[in-house]
Amino acid sequence: MLNMNTNIAIIGAGPAGLTTALQLKRYGIEATLIEKDQVGGLLRNANWVENYPGFPRGITGKKLVNLFKQQLKLAGVIVEKTSVTQLDWEDNGFRLQSDKFSMQARIVVIASGTKPLLLKSYPIPVALQGYVHYEIYHLQNEVGKIITIIGAGDAAFDYALNLSRKNEVHILNLSQEHKCLSLLYERSLQNANIHYHNNTKLHSISPCEQKNMLLECQTLSGMIKIETDYLIGAIGREPYLDYLSEQLFGKIDQLRKCQRLYLIGDVTNDWYRQVSIAIGDGMMAAMKIYQQERLT
């Protein structure tokens, strides 16, 4: 395995991580930006971004991510495509293990975002698990499909609006109350391609002749059946920190206080997952690193 050294490693090329990399580049400070998947993070799933300044009529998440990619390229920021498998603290520095290399770093910026809560309590047969997804960017070219989403928050309704352009979408809400913005809820109800089912619990999943899956759901009025091509889980997310060693977990507060470790964006912002907040986090981290580098 290749051994590498870097002064600053940034884990995650979503809005927070790429902003840190861009601003450090502007300062003339080189950093290694690492991304296991694609640039943009969850923004790739967004149907319509209406609260990001500079786009008065809104912009799709996909188009905004493409603009971010162009900016990284023009700035000369290179993204290392690899998955971080472990991050540890040893000998007054960080040791980062990935699929491609082992790296030592003096400062680490964690911008790895969140991971989805899995549909563990639902009876998904092993043979059908390939049709279960938790993000939708790779389904955006699907046409004429039936897609079912479990969830009642912003993500569930935003996913539905995105996918309903070319497909039929069902939203299953376990309770009576939805948890999304009223704007998203109203748009979904007005969309003829979206079917919203409240007080609906997924009871069983089985193979289907016409579609990939047959969903049997319990409602207040009895059982209903939905034939579907894909099942999307949108029941919540949690910080993606699986790669941190136990030793590093115990030193997080100490390392953050001495500005050797930064946690930014969705990985630390809990409910406040907005692209503008993540970008602000990334900018602040870069500015703090710049001030610190000037003093050393």
pLDDT in tens, 204-215: 999 998 899 999
pLDDT above 90 for 60: yes
Q: What pLDDT is stored for residue 293 in this prediction?
A: 87
pTM of the model: 0.93
Instruction: State pLDDT tens for residues 96-110.
Output: 999 999 999 999 999
Q: What pLDDT is stored for residue 6 in this prediction?
A: 84
pLDDT band at 3 (very low <50, low <70, confident <90, very high): low
For residue 240, give the nearest of 117, 156, 130 by alpha carbon.
Answer: 117
* 273-292 core/surface letters (b: 16 or more CB in 10 A; e: else): bbbebbbbbbbbbbeebeee
- Sheet of strand 194-197, all strands in order from the earlier edge strand to the far edge: 132-133, 230-233, 146-150, 168-172, 194-197
For residue 232, give the nearest of 175, 172, 142, 274 by alpha carbon.
Answer: 172
pLDDT above 80 for 116: yes
Backbone dihedral region for residue 144 (phi beyond 0: left; psi -120 to 50: alpha; all else: beta)? left
Instruction: State pLDDT tens for residues 213-262.
Output: 999 999 999 999 999 999 999 999 999 999 999 999 999 999 999 999 99
pLDDT above 70 for 266: yes
For residue 149, give the nearest of 122, 126, 125, 114 by alpha carbon.
Answer: 122
Distance CA 126, CA 103 (A): 37
The single residue listed with the structure tokens 């694609």 is 38
pLDDT above 60 for 1: no
Q: What pLDDT is stored for residue 5 in this prediction?
A: 75
Instruction: State pLDDT tens for residues 148-175.
Output: 999 999 999 999 999 999 999 999 999 9
